[in-house]
Structure 1
Amino acid sequence: MPAPEAHQEVGMSEHGESSGIEGVLVRRGDAGYETTWASELWNDLKPERYPDVIVRAASERDVPQALKLARSRGLRVAVRAGGHNWWGSPLRDGGMLLDLSGLRRWEIDDNSATATVQPGAVGSEFAAELARRDLAFPAGHCPSVALGGYLLSGGLGWNSGLWGPGCASVQEITAVTAAGEAVRCTEDEHPGLFWAARGAGPGFFAVVTGFRLRLYPRPAALATTSYVFPLAAVEPVARWAVETARELSANVELSFLLAAADPSLTVDRPHAKVVTVAATAFATSRPEAVRALRPLHSCPLAERPLSRQLDEPTSLAALYDAARELWPERRRYAADTLWSQEDYASLLAKLGDALTTAPSAKSIILAPVSPVSQEGELLRNMAFSVLGESYVVPYAIWDDPARDDVNIAWLREAMHTLQPLGTGHYIAEADLTADPSRAQRSFTAPDWERLRSLRAEYDPQGLFFSYPDGS
């Protein structure tokens, strides 16, 4: 896709000699701009929004230099850690994109069970290193997600029913403000900035260069139980699974997946859709894992499952492999989220109907049951909030660029059907471009007002872009 001409001339060399930036600096119009622009998002679907300048930081030292340059040139700033946002929030028209994906270091202190990580560190790689030390952290489910954007948005990850959202384990951040000052933020120092960094997402008004994280003992035994049913049975399946979920301990992660069936399960119906109920126990021993999953051993439904798997041993590496199959690279994605007070049976019945009309057979519906611990202590002092009893995430997934409009239209129509039942959105994956009020509806009313007040305090000149709104 060719890049349009720049909105303004920035007047710097490609490698930033005149800016004091050690990393790579690319202007719109430079020979390498289009390739650099395309690589800023993991998703093959990329919005046609073009920064005037892209800065790829080589170290934390580049961050205040980049902000200084942006202030001097009147450029607004967007920040990227891993470029995994489905709707491309790092890509804005004009301004500067500050790419932190090269800042990938971490330091792990086994004795205190804490780590300091840079924003570009990839969650699955960090988790693998922690596992070698018998430690763990609720990193994101998709293996390519970097920790920076994930933590800033709240972070719904592995075993979050027990450990809470990823941001609940953030003990301290180092941030560079719009004024170029590097500040340490905790509950006592710059407490407002610390609060906002735990859930504000792509509208955060500073640049986080480091997170100090609390770690957990590694669950030594993981096991999974799953059932696959025809999609027509989604309502009774959802009622049974949600009722059974009340008997499950917090270390069991249960979810629904509505998707095309494995052809081996429906040989007579090659395009059939199914609902999968899957539960993974994160336990300290094999017997504990089996006990944790026992409530799911008995399924009283009259509908016979197409397949059943009980207490299958697994590993974090295997879970990440499954996630790679669910969200493969080199695909085009659009996603949206909804919190609701409605029961899962009603929500999934509507979404099941929508899935049968999806223009792509690759599209899926994911619905984690109680996706994050709702204990008050784990959700204390953060912008992220649980905004409903139920949570669903439809994904349009396809290959052909010529089918962009029809797939996005399908997703938005499905969400439009659910909207009257909604109580909010999750800022990390919501379609913020659908209308300008989407970001606001991702927070409680008091939290939204506090975010606005803190933005006025820490970024009074509006150096940082706010939330994308489709404009």
Structure 2
Amino acid sequence: MTQSTEIDGAAVDELQASFRGAIVRPDDAAYDEHRKVWNGSIDRRPALITRCTGVADVRAAIRLARSQDLLTAVRGGGHSFPGLSVCDDGMLIDLGPMKGIRVDPEARTVRVQAGVLLGELDRETQEFGLAVPSGIVTHTGVAGLTLGGGIGWVMRKYGLTVDQLLSVDVVTADGELVRASENENSDLFWGVRGGGGNFGIVTDFEFRLNPVGPYVMAGPVFWPMEDAPEVLRFYRDWIADCPDELMTIAVQRRAPALPIVPPDLVGKRVLAVTACYAGPVEDGERVLRPLKEFGSPVLDFCRPKPFLEHQRTFDPSFPHGWHYYVRSCDVAALSDDVIDVVVEYGSRITSPVTSVALWQMGGAVGRIDDGATAFNGRQAGFTFNINGNSKTADGFDSERQWARDYWSALAPHHTSVYVNFLMEEGEERVRHAYGAAKYDRLKALKRTYDPTNFFRLNQNIRP
């Protein structure tokens, strides 16, 4: 297959005649709006955008792309760090209009279409005090998050997003609609739970729901970055035997210019521990008291609040259009050596929008059999998400270099890596994300469902 900007106009007209969604071409007024993705450092111009409203549109778009030999990108929420949800010259299959959500509160299940965002899903499920374990930014797409595994605020209690997945509908590279679950096409079901978009376009997801909220004890507590060595050692010991209901993310950054942040603190380097207790609020208050009382916090926003409010905590830090670059790794433990690296590079943060998130793993995530899903790294102690960000292109190169240097300094401690936090880093890094045995199994699955590697704009597993 070759990239091409020359698409047979008659073939597009034929598609248009039966297509329920919108077909957007480069000379259409809406083209620039629909080619944009979340990461503002990505600027790509597809030759055709097909905005699908259902399975029939998806199948028709795939048939056209195959017939025209088009490089094809697939977009759910458009939150891919490396911008793999858009391409130059080829076709963008945009699932954004597919917004269906159907909650069954009695069965505690929900069916979700591929264009749904996390905040939209939470809004429907929280009406019944239920939730799917998901991510931490509400405008992330459910589809991409799920297909890579899905880490977030309630995973230590209920497992990853994929651990609550009951079934999927997949349109394969040859345009066939396939259902996969534990009892039907079970090998494909194993692969989509962590293997990304390598095997087809998942149009519908069915999840198990779990009781969460509607109120939780949650939010960040901040200390000056100078206190980081003592805070991180306390934090390590405090979470060593914490209950599964507690999930924390330690964050390094400059204090943001938000209305709730005192002006004299804005721009100062800070360390925050953001927590969410997925259980009774009064239990959360008791469990979190030692954190809130340690040392001399400069801000404390950890309090009872609606789970929906807590899910929006990080939204202001990751808006659409900024320039994002991430390096990531898992580590086994928060050793003194790891803490030394964290302290050193935290003190070098310059951009007001650069940040590091150190995710606490374990709990239910680590108790599920490692071979049950394609997701790898269940035994990780912590996951680093090192963001070298800037609001525009100005200063972006230096932020990326800082992120690379931080990541390299952690290299002696790397174990695995979360596939959703990869940039375009090459086949060996993708193999590292899955481990050799799982990677070989995923390659065999790829040969079955996508032998020509039609779906290759992803963290690609080549057949």
Q: TM-score, normalised by structure 1?
A: 0.88
Q: What's the offset of the Cα at 1:15?
A: 7.0
For 2:387 and 2:339, how far apart are their aligned partners in 1? 14
User: What secondary structure sits across from 2:86 in the alignment?
Assistant: coil
Q: What's the offset of the Cα at 1:396?
A: 1.9
For 2:417 and 2:20, how far apart are their aligned partners in 1? 38
**Are positions 1:464 and 2:461 aligned together?**
no
Q: What's the offset of the Cα at 1:195?
A: 0.9
Deviations 1:188-247 (A, max 9, x none): 211121111111124x22111111110012334411375422213322221211211123
**Are positions 1:152 and 2:147 aligned together?**
yes
Give the 5 Å matches for 1:300-315: 304-308=296-300, 312-315=303-306
**Are positions 1:410 and 2:368 aligned together?**
no
User: What secondary structure sits across from 1:361 in the alignment?
Assistant: coil
For 1:70 and 1:38, how far apart are their aligned partners in 2? 17
For 1:320 and 1:327, how far apart are their aligned partners in 2? 13
Deviations 1:78-105 (A, max 9, x none): 2110101121011234432211111110
For 2:320 and 2:397, how far apart are their aligned partners in 1? 20
For 1:297 and 1:399, how far apart are their aligned partners in 2? 32
For 1:79 and 1:329, how far apart are their aligned partners in 2? 18
Task: Find 1:337's aligned residue among 328, 333, 356.
Answer: 328
Give the 5 Å matches for 1:115-264: 115-202=110-197, 204-224=198-218, 226-261=220-255
AA partner of residue 429 (structure 1): F
Q: Do 1:115 and 1:215's aligned partners in 2 also have CA atoms closer than 8 Å?
A: yes
Q: What's the offset of the Cα at 1:379?
A: 5.5
Task: Find 1:424's aligned residue among 382, 404, 416.
Answer: 416
Out of 217-226 and 58-67, give the one that drifted further: 217-226
For 1:257 and 1:297, how far apart are their aligned partners in 2? 15
Higher helix share: 2
Unaligned runs of 5+ in 2: none
For 2:381 and 2:180, how far apart are their aligned partners in 1? 31
Deviations 1:406-439 (A, max 9, x none): 32222222222223321222111222x2444222
AA partner of residue 228 (structure 2): V
**Are positions 1:58 and 2:58 aligned together?**
no
AA partner of residue 257 (structure 1): V
- Per the alignment, residue 274 of structure 2 pairs with 278
User: What secondary structure sits across from 1:228 in the alignment?
Assistant: strand
Q: What's the offset of the Cα at 1:345?
A: 4.6
Q: Do 2:136 and 2:312's aligned partners in 1 also have CA atoms closer than 8 Å?
A: no
- Per the alignment, residue 400 of structure 1 pairs with 392
**Are positions 1:23 and 2:21 aligned together?**
yes
User: What secondary structure sits across from 1:243 in the alignment?
Assistant: helix
Q: Do 2:149 and 2:160's aligned partners in 1 also have CA atoms closer than 8 Å?
A: yes
Q: Do 2:134 and 2:160's aligned partners in 1 also have CA atoms closer than 8 Å?
A: no
Q: Do 1:81 and 1:146's aligned partners in 2 also have CA atoms closer than 8 Å?
A: yes
User: What secondary structure sits across from 2:191 in the alignment?
Assistant: helix
AA partner of residue 222 (structure 2): V
For 1:464 and 1:262, how far apart are their aligned partners in 2? 39
For 2:218 and 2:122, how far apart are their aligned partners in 1? 19
The alpha-carbon distance between structure 1 residues 412 and 85, as it changes in their structure 2 partners (threshold 3 A), is same
For 2:292 and 2:388, how far apart are their aligned partners in 1? 32
AA partner of residue 356 (structure 1): S
The alpha-carbon distance between structure 1 residues 50 and 453, as it changes in their structure 2 partners (threshold 3 A), is farther
AA partner of residue 179 (structure 1): D
Instruction: Say what the alpha-carbon RMSD is for the aligned residues.
Output: 2.7
AA partner of residue 252 (structure 2): L
Q: What's the offset of the Cα at 1:257?
A: 0.9
AA partner of residue 391 (structure 1): T
- Per the alignment, residue 10 of structure 1 pairs with 7
Give the 5 Å matches for 1:337-356: 337-343=328-334, 345-356=336-347
AA partner of residue 10 (structure 1): I
The alpha-carbon distance between structure 1 residues 296 and 359, as it changes in their structure 2 partners (threshold 3 A), is closer
Q: Do 1:60 and 1:103's aligned partners in 2 also have CA atoms closer than 8 Å?
A: no
Q: Do 2:72 and 2:457's aligned partners in 1 also have CA atoms closer than 8 Å?
A: no
Task: Find 1:107's aligned residue among 102, 106, 128.
Answer: 102
- Per the alignment, residue 3 of structure 1 pairs with none
Q: What's the offset of the Cα at 1:398?
A: 1.3
Q: What's the offset of the Cα at 1:73?
A: 1.3
For 1:142 and 1:14, how far apart are their aligned partners in 2? 39
For 2:296 and 2:102, how far apart are their aligned partners in 1? 50
User: What secondary structure sits across from 2:216 in the alignment?
Assistant: strand
Q: TM-score, normalised by structure 2?
A: 0.89
User: What secondary structure sits across from 2:421 in the alignment?
Assistant: coil
Deviations 1:323-376 (A, max 9, x none): 222223442222221101242553343234224334412211111222663343
User: What secondary structure sits across from 2:170 in the alignment?
Assistant: strand
Out of 327-336 and 182-191, give the one that drifted further: 327-336
For 2:69 and 2:4, how far apart are their aligned partners in 1? 12
Q: What's the offset of the Cα at 1:22?
A: 2.5
Identity of counterpart residues, as a percentage? 24
AA partner of residue 334 (structure 1): Y
User: What secondary structure sits across from 2:419 in the alignment?
Assistant: coil
AA partner of residue 410 (structure 2): L
Q: Do 2:126 and 2:308's aligned partners in 1 also have CA atoms closer than 8 Å?
A: no
- Per the alignment, residue 376 of structure 1 pairs with 367
User: What secondary structure sits across from 2:400 in the alignment?
Assistant: helix
Q: What is the aligned residue count?
A: 453
For 1:145 and 1:192, how far apart are their aligned partners in 2? 27
Unaligned runs of 5+ in 1: 1-5
The alpha-carbon distance between structure 1 residues 179 and 330, as it changes in their structure 2 partners (threshold 3 A), is closer
The alpha-carbon distance between structure 1 residues 214 and 32, as it changes in their structure 2 partners (threshold 3 A), is same
